[in-house]
Amino acid sequence: MKKLTHINQKGDAQLVDITDKAITHRKAIAEGTIQLNKETLKLIQANLIKKGDVLSTAKIAGIQAAKKTWELIPLCHSINLTKIDINFNIDKKNNTIVCQSSCECFAQTGLEMEALSAISIALLTIYDMVKAVDRTMVISNIHLVEKSGGRSGTYVSKDSVKAKVKKTANKKT
């Protein structure tokens, strides 16, 4: 079992020392879903929610969350993000909105928490903006899809689209 890096020899919480780590290009992609009533989804798409443009507001909230992750999660380092991208995919068949965030930087430590924070806050913003018309919403499946850079290399979730495409390609050969 790997040693937890945020715990010192006494068992106390600590900020991980990254002094000697190399600066590398790093990227993290995260994803999450919110399920809504069919009518609520239609209101969002028609931009008829009284609080305003739901998806644009959620995108800005997600960007802010990624930038402020180090202020929200006590043992996260502050990271100078060079790119934050947030996209929404509306799935009418399942009455869901899938949110995906992608964060990039050149740093000594990873930015998985920034990508995950972006998703969490973007989805919570959607919830907040439409809760007056739909209290049955369910936020789920917030997870890391992929990360690259640093000593530990690349990670791709077995559930990611990229992993599924690779698995399908391998079966054909």
- pLDDT for residue 165: 44
Q: Out of 25-34, 140-149, 153-162, which region has the weakest mean confidence (pLDDT)?
A: 153-162
163 CB-contact burial (10 Å; exposed 0-12 / middle 13-18 / buried 19+): middle
23 residue type, one letter: I
- What's residue 130's pLDDT? 98
CB atoms within 10 A of CB 1: 3
Residue 111 near residue 26, CB atoms below 8 Å = yes
* Predicted local confidence at residue 111, as pLDDT: 94
**Token duo for residue 5:** 């890096």
Percent of the residues in the chain that have a pLDDT greater than 70, as a whole number: 90
pLDDT for the residue 171: 53
| Active-site residue, 128 included | yes
**From the centroid of its chain, how far is CA 150?**
19
Name the active-site residue from 53, 128, 134, 159: 128
Stated pTM of the model: 0.87
- What pLDDT score was predicted for residue 152? 86
- Could you read off the pLDDT of 9-36 as tens digits, one per residue? 787 787 888 888 899 999 999 999 999 9
Asked if the model's pLDDT at residue 173 lies above 50, the reply is no
Point out the least confidently predicted range of 80-89, 91-100, 164-173.
164-173
- Is CATH 3.20.20.140 correct for 24-157? no
Give residue 124's Cα distance to chain centre: 12
Q: Span 146-166, mean pLDDT?
A: 77
What is the rounded average pLDDT for all residues in the chain?
90
Q: Where are the beta strands (DSSP E) in 12-125?
A: 24-35, 81-91, 96-107
Cβ neighbours of residue 65 closer than 8 Å, sequence gap 6 or more: 72, 117, 118, 120, 121, 122
